[in-house]
Amino acid sequence: MTATDESFLQEASRRVVVDVTVDRPASAVWAELTEDDPMSSYCRAISSITWTSTRPLGVGATRTTRVLGGLIRLDERYPHWDEGRRKVFVGVRTLPPVLSRVAEEYLVEPIDADRCRFRWTAVWEPTLIGRPIGPVGRAIFASIARDIERHFGES
């Protein structure tokens, strides 16, 4: 996998963004995003997410995400972690090697005591192996986006 940092979030041409108002406090949304195995209960494409570093989580934290029943494994590292507000991960490795670069940003901003804004951004660049299955990759990210929007939009 090509080494990358959070600047890839601005440079990437392949991207999906979800921006929703959530009827829950920002602290509750952040807690959900950093719990054990976050997102796999409501994102159909995500099989599991496992933190591979110890708590407390912060810059340098790592996790492994398994997608499509474990057919794709993504090892991730967090170069940015602003507790309670913003975290960014970059991909370290995918198995099989279908992505050359990937990054995601999670931004939680309070609106008032009972509501917040949550924005999730995912960007990626396929490898030569991953390019022929490009529509599958787009479909995976689009599915995750729809599930995030449904989950947090209905809270």
What pLDDT does 63 receive? 97
For residue 1, tell me if it sits in a domain. Answer: no
Domain limits for position 89: 8-153
Amino acid at 56: P
Domain at 111, CATH number:
3.30.530.20
- Residue 53 · residue 61 · CB < 8 Å: yes
By CB neighbour count within 10 A (0-12 exposed, 13-18 middle, 19+ buried), where does 61 fall?
buried
For every one of its 155 residues, what pLDDT tens digit does the chain have, with 9 covering 90 and above? 888 888 999 999 999 999 999 999 999 999 999 999 999 999 999 999 999 999 999 999 999 999 999 999 999 999 999 999 999 999 999 999 999 999 999 999 999 999 999 999 999 999 987 776 667 778 888 999 999 999 998 65
For residue 3, tell me if it sits in a domain. Answer: no
For residue 2, tell me if it sits in a domain. Answer: no
Cα–Cα distance for residue pair 18/45, rounded to 1 Å? 16
Whole-model pTM over 0.85: yes
Q: Taking Cα atoms as reference points, which of 4, 9, 6 lies closest to residue 80?
A: 6
Cα–Cα distance for residue pair 40/28, rounded to 1 Å? 17
Tell whether the torsion through CA atoms of 142, 146, 149 and 155 is positive or negative: negative
Number of domains in the chain: 1
What pLDDT does 155 receive? 55
